[in-house]
């Protein structure tokens, strides 16, 4: 058994070597991604044309209002108008036609209604509308199995539709050609929004539709509804493959909407089939457009562009009634004002390196050596995970490594994606955990010494010997003895003397730097294993974020309480024999609340306080990149303070557990694959530097407090005791 333990201990050097080789192999993969992220910088600004038509419908002269808004949006910097598949209701809003049911028509004609039928009657606004829209409406309704017949009234052309008005108003048709003509003539690009509601899928009709779009210069489409075109009929007609081929033939890409509650069905498949000709789009809802301030809009756009690879911004504008203003109000003027000018959002993004222009997909290039490099990265990740397992059970080091190799081989056959995500998660957990386990062991060696067994009571008459320097007690000997009696608990030594403050500060800085470097070893495994374009486009996400935010904290705490003493079994026995009191119940409840709040802040859903928002904005303005608040304001400072105090006070070892939050967060920053590597790197380094500076301030404050204690408070207590 001793020989087996020795082999496992020596094998750790091999594992560390493989880990470092894996880190080196991941770097060129990261560089490849870094170069890819620089191939798409242009930002396209899109306005919802349907909203402009809706707002115009409440105006005295709708057509003149639309012309005015098109001109205003063009001057503001909007380059593209989004058009939807149309319905009879949309065409009524656009003043293209009027629609009547049987009763309305009878009332208009002064006749008795024919109560036996529920038909819909369409009357076109003019000859141009009739000529353009009549074929569109007829073909769409006949496709849906609804007959359409010519009809006229008072010399105006119309249609008689054999369906109730409630049904007829819901039939989807291709986008309004008259609207596209007007937009194109005004000098705008067009972003069609098409759905999967026009069924069944017909390849010839889809080809004709895309060719029509191409005649307007369309190079990207956006889907409307819960599914992409072709999804419903894909099982029978292989329509996704068909539509993808048509898109590639016409050179048309697609856009992915950020923040959907559920991804649009079939989008990932279509993205793959179109060779990921995809850009990410961020939408400003109409309800937000009416309340958002220009400054907030600018900051939101900039953050989305540089932090989340957003390349299209989509503006909505709803109309609302206002008694105070005595009419219908809309945010169109406010949106245009927020975009244009030297202080506008468009210029702000341009100054940051995101010029306006047609959105372009990332240029994805996969080198011939990438597959071999990723295999080496996988080997390094398995080694790092085996090192973590060996830190808790040395005899399992070699078996863990061998089992990891076998399991990785099996997962590669079954699910390559699961293998990459599993190894990335394991490496991301292992690196910060191992760094702080190393820190705890260094602290123990510099305080208790190399011995695990600490015997004797820490009192004035029976004080154990330690390998750590004892220093010169001198006139403070009486007080040191008194503190030893006060803080004595069982056979554990709680105060360590001998290291002066300057030396403890130097050791703390050194440990902080090396711990951070070891934690950062997990970063290359994350971006090396998850270097697929699907993660950059957020079509796939890194799984296990909650586990990453909890596992290192739990493992470091477990090591502290079970492995930093005489023996694991003895420490476990002591923990299990603790009497559960009201104090422990309250403490557990507080920890649970803190843990839930901590988890709530790990994603994008958490709410920040006003003070935190002010600090975020200040940092964003000053550095251009905002470091993570929990890193620079909490975890890093407390870790540095804890390292300084741990060399004198055993109780401060707990602060190392708190500090694990910052160490794991540095790795987690790179798990947001849709954030550019450059931004993540700057964010981590800023967090470390600012956190270290705050930690130094905390150490200085502590030292001042100790000085006051020693000079004035302690003599008073000693005098009263003695």
Over residues 173-196, mean pLDDT: 97
Over residues 555-570, mean pLDDT: 84
Task: Give the residue from 171, 198, 227 where a domain finishes.
Answer: 171
Q: What's this model's pTM, rounded to 2 decimal places?
A: 0.86
Cα–chain center distance at 566: 44
pLDDT band at 624 (very low <50, low <70, confident <90, very high): confident
pLDDT at residue 634 is higher than 80: yes
What tokens were used for 188?
A: 């705008």
User: pLDDT at position 308, please?
Assistant: 94
Give whichever of 104-108, 506-510, 608-612, 625-629 has the largest mean pLDDT.
Answer: 506-510
pLDDT at residue 474 is higher than 80: no
In a domain, 68, yes or no: yes
pLDDT band at 466 (very low <50, low <70, confident <90, very high): very low
User: pLDDT at position 619, please?
Assistant: 72
Minimum mean pLDDT range among 16-20, 505-509, 546-550: 546-550
> Are the beta carbons of 241 and 273 closer than 8 angstroms?
yes
User: pLDDT at position 2, please?
Assistant: 82
pLDDT band at 721 (very low <50, low <70, confident <90, very high): confident
Which DSSP symbol is given to 648?
Answer: T
330: left (phi over 0), alpha (psi -120 to 50) or beta: beta
d(Cα 295, Cα 68) in Å, to the nearest integer?
25
| Number of other CB atoms surrounding residue 530 within 10 Å | 24
d(Cα 689, Cα 637) in Å, to the nearest integer?
10
In a domain, 564, yes or no: yes
Q: Tell me the three-class secondary structure of 423-459, residue by residue.
A: HHHHHHHHHHHHHHHHHHHHHHHHHCCCCCCCCCCCC
- Tally of structural domains, the chain: 3
User: pLDDT at position 591, please?
Assistant: 63
> Are the beta carbons of 268 and 231 closer than 8 angstroms?
no
Same domain, 145 and 267: no
d(Cα 597, Cα 637) in Å, to the nearest integer?
20
Chain mean pLDDT for the chain: 88
pLDDT at residue 457 is higher than 50: no
More confident residue, 157 or 469: 157
pLDDT at residue 271 is higher than 90: yes
User: pLDDT at position 323, please?
Assistant: 80
Over residues 223-227, mean pLDDT: 96
Same domain, 510 and 566: yes
In a domain, 470, yes or no: no
pLDDT at residue 49 is higher than 70: yes
Same domain, 538 and 636: yes
Over residues 263-292, mean pLDDT: 95
More confident residue, 39 or 494: 39
Over residues 479-494, mean pLDDT: 48
Same domain, 281 and 256: yes
Same domain, 357 and 375: no
What tokens were used for 530?
A: 């998850």
In a domain, 460, yes or no: no
In a domain, 436, yes or no: yes
d(Cα 47, Cα 35) in Å, to the nearest integer?
31
> Are the beta carbons of 236 and 197 closer than 8 angstroms?
no
Same domain, 60 and 160: no
pLDDT at residue 458 is higher than 60: no
Minimum mean pLDDT range among 323-337, 387-401, 443-457, 695-709: 443-457
Same domain, 106 and 232: no
Same domain, 591 and 694: yes
User: pLDDT at position 498, please?
Assistant: 76
Same domain, 61 and 117: no
Q: Tell me the three-class secondary structure of 25-86, residue by residue.
A: HHHHHHHHHHHHHCCCCCEEEEEEHHHHHHHHCCCCCHHHHHHHHHHHHHHHCCCEEEEEEE
User: pLDDT at position 599, please?
Assistant: 58
In a domain, 224, yes or no: yes
304 phi, psi to nearest 5 deg? -65, -40
Cα–chain center distance at 334: 29
Task: Give the residue from 171, 186, 214 where a domain finishes.
Answer: 171
Q: Tell me the three-class secondary structure of 537-605, residue by residue.
A: CCCCCCCCHHHHHHHHHHHHHHHHHHHCCCCHHHHHHHHHCCCCCHHHHHHHHHHHHHHHHHHHCCCCC
Task: Give the residue from 149, 171, 193 where a domain finishes.
Answer: 171
Cα–chain center distance at 476: 55
**3-state DSSP assignment of residue 400:** helix
User: pLDDT at position 600, please?
Assistant: 59
pLDDT at residue 141 is higher than 70: yes
User: pLDDT at position 116, please?
Assistant: 74
Cα–chain center distance at 713: 50
d(Cα 125, Cα 26) in Å, to the nearest integer?
64
Q: Burial-class residue 167 by CB neighbours within 10 Å (0-12, 13-18, 19+).
A: middle
Over residues 559-587, mean pLDDT: 74
User: pLDDT at position 410, please?
Assistant: 94
Same domain, 275 and 351: yes
pLDDT band at 13 (very low <50, low <70, confident <90, very high): very high
> Are the beta carbons of 526 and 428 closer than 8 angstroms?
yes
> Are the beta carbons of 213 and 247 closer than 8 angstroms?
no
Over residues 309-318, mean pLDDT: 95
Same domain, 94 and 19: no
Domain that holds residue 537: 2-37+366-454+500-721
Over residues 189-198, mean pLDDT: 97
First-residue to last-residue Cα distance in the chain: 56
pLDDT at residue 472 is higher than 60: no
In a domain, 469, yes or no: no
pLDDT at residue 83 is higher than 80: yes
User: pLDDT at position 616, please?
Assistant: 65
More confident residue, 508 or 457: 508
User: pLDDT at position 595, please?
Assistant: 61
What tokens were used for 144?
A: 């849906």
Alpha helices in 38-61 (DSSP H): 49-56
Give the tens place of pLDDT for each residue, 657-692.
999 999 999 999 999 999 999 999 999 999 999 999
d(Cα 210, Cα 221) in Å, to the nearest integer?
10
Same domain, 63 and 181: yes
CATH code where residue 277 lies: 3.20.20
Give the tens place of pLDDT for each residue, 382-410.
999 999 999 999 999 999 999 999 999 99
pLDDT band at 110 (very low <50, low <70, confident <90, very high): confident
In a domain, 105, yes or no: yes
């Amino acid at each position: 058994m001793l020989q087996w333990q020795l082999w496992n201990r020596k094998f750790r050097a091999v594992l560390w070597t493989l880990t470092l080789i894996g880190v080196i192999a991941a770097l060129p993969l990261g560089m490849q991604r870094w170069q890819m992220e620089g191939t798409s910088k242009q930002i396209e600004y899109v306005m919802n044309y349907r909203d402009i038509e809706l707002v115009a419908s409440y105006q005295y002269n709708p057509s003149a209002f639309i012309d005015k808004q098109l001109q205003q949006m063009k001057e503001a910097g909007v380059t593209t108008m989004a058009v939807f598949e149309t319905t009879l209701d949309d065409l009524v809003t656009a003043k293209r036609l009027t629609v009547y049911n049987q009763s309305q028509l009878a009332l208009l004609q002064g006749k008795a209604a024919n109560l036996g039928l529920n038909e819909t009657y369409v009357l076109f606004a003019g000859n141009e509308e009739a000529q353009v829209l009549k074929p569109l409406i007829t073909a769409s309704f006949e496709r849906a199995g609804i007959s359409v017949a010519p009809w006229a009234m008072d010399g105006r052309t119309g249609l008689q539709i054999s369906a109730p008005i409630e049904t007829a108003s819901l039939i989807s048709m291709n986008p309004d050609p008259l609207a596209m003509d007007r937009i194109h003539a005004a000098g705008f690009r067009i972003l069609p929004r098409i759905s999967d509601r026009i069924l069944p899928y017909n390849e010839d009709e889809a080809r004709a539709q895309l060719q029509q779009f191409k005649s307007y210069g369309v190079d990207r489409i956006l889907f409307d509804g819960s599914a992409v075109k072709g999804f419903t009929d894909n099982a029978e007609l292989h329509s996704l493959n068909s539509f993808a081929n048509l898109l590639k033939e016409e050179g048309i890409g697609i856009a992915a909407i950020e923040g959907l509650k559920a991804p649009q069905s079939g989008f990932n498949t279509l993205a793959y089939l179109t060779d990921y000709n995809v850009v990410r789009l961020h939408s400003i809802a109409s309800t937000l457009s009416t309340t958002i301030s220009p400054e907030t809009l600018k900051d939101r756009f900039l953050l989305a562009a540089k932090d989340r690879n957003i390349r299209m911004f989509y503006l909505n504008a709803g109309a609302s009634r206002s008694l105070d203003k005595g009419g219908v109000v809309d945010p169109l003027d406010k949106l245009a004002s927020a975009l244009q000018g030297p202080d506008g959002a468009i210029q702000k993004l341009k100054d940051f390196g995101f010029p306006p222009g047609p959105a372009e997909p990332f240029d994805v290039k996969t080198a011939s050596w990438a597959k071999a490099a990723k295999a080496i990265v996988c080997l390094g990740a398995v080694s790092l995970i085996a090192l973590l397992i060996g830190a808790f059970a040395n005899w399992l080091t070699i078996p863990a490594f061998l089992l990891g190799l076998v399991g990785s081989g099996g997962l590669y056959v079954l699910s390559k994606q699961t293998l990459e995500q599993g190894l990335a998660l394991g490496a991301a957990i292992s690196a910060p955990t191992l760094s702080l386990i190393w820190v705890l062991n260094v602290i123990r060696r510099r305080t208790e010494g190399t011995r695990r067994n600490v015997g004797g009571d820490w009192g004035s008459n029976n004080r154990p010997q330690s390998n750590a320097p004892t220093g010169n007690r001198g006139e403070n000997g009486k007080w040191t003895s008194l503190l030893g009696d006060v803080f004595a608990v069982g056979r554990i030594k709680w105060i360590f003397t001998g290291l002066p403050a300057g030396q403890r500060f130097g050791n703390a800085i050194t440990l902080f730097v090396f711990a951070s470097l070891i934690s950062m070893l997990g970063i290359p495994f994350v971006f090396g294993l998850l270097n697929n374009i699907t993660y950059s486009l957020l079509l796939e996400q890194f799984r296990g974020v909650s586990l990453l935010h909890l596992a290192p904290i739990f493992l470091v705490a477990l090591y502290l309480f079970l492995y930093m003493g005489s023996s694991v079994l003895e420490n476990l026995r002591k923990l299990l024999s603790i009497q559960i009191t009201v104090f422990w119940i309250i403490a557990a409840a507080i920890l649970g609340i803190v843990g839930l709040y901590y988890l709530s802040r790990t994603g994008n859903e958490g709410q920040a306080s006003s003070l935190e928002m002010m600090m975020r904005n200040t940092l964003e303005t000053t550095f251009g990149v905002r470091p993570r608040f929990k890193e620079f304001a909490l975890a890093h400072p407390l870790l540095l303070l804890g390292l300084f105090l741990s060399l004198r006070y055993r109780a401060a070892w707990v602060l190392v557990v708190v500090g694990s939050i910052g160490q794991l967060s540095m790795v987690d920053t790179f798990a947001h694959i849709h954030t550019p590597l450059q931004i993540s790197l700057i964010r981590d380094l800023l967090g470390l530097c600012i956190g270290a500076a705050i930690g130094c301030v905390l150490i200085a404050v502590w030292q001042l407090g100790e000085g006051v204690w020693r000079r004035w408070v302690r003599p008073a207590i000693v005098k009263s005791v003695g």
